[in-house]
């Protein structure tokens, strides 16, 4: 079992920045990859960024060049640095951890970007 707790969401103006954090606990040694997803009202949940245990990353096209995912293994934490935020980035952001064929999710944190 893996428990995930997100933090760092909030309200920001267009062009601003936020950093989301996701602290993992439990069977963290078994985590293969971690990612950030988001879900806007009326839309499906989508992958924003992911990082493997080897450090490989991938991003949604809509956030490339603006968002950076990073992982601090010593703190069992994954971060999402979001710069140049746009109103279309408004969503609930979820952290996910992948362990074999299982996935675990945090409770989500709201990010709102005002125009």
Higher pLDDT, 25 or 92: 92
Length of the chain: 115
Spatial separation of the C-alpha atoms in residues 101 and 17, rounded to whole Å: 34
CB 52 within 8 A of CB 104: no
In this prediction, residue 53 has a pLDDT band, given cuts at 50, 70 and 90, of confident
Q: What pLDDT is attached to residue 27?
A: 78
In this prediction, residue 37 has a pLDDT band, given cuts at 50, 70 and 90, of very high
In this prediction, residue 28 has a pLDDT band, given cuts at 50, 70 and 90, of confident
Q: What pLDDT is attached to residue 7?
A: 95
Spatial separation of the C-alpha atoms in residues 105 and 108, rounded to whole Å: 8
């Amino acid at each position: 079992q893996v428990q995930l707790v997100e933090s760092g969401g909030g309200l920001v103006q267009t062009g601003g920045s936020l950093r989301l954090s996701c602290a993992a606990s439990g069977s963290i040694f078994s985590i293969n990859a971690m990612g950030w997803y988001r879900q806007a009202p009326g839309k499906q949940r989508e992958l924003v960024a992911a990082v493997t245990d080897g450090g490989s990353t991938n991003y949604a096209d809509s956030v490339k060049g603006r968002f950076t995912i990073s992982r601090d293994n010593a703190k069992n934490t994954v971060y999402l640095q979001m710069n140049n935020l746009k109103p279309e980035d408004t969503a609930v952001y979820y952290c996910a951890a992948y362990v074999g064929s299982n996935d675990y999710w945090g409770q989500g944190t709201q990010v709102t970007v005002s125009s």
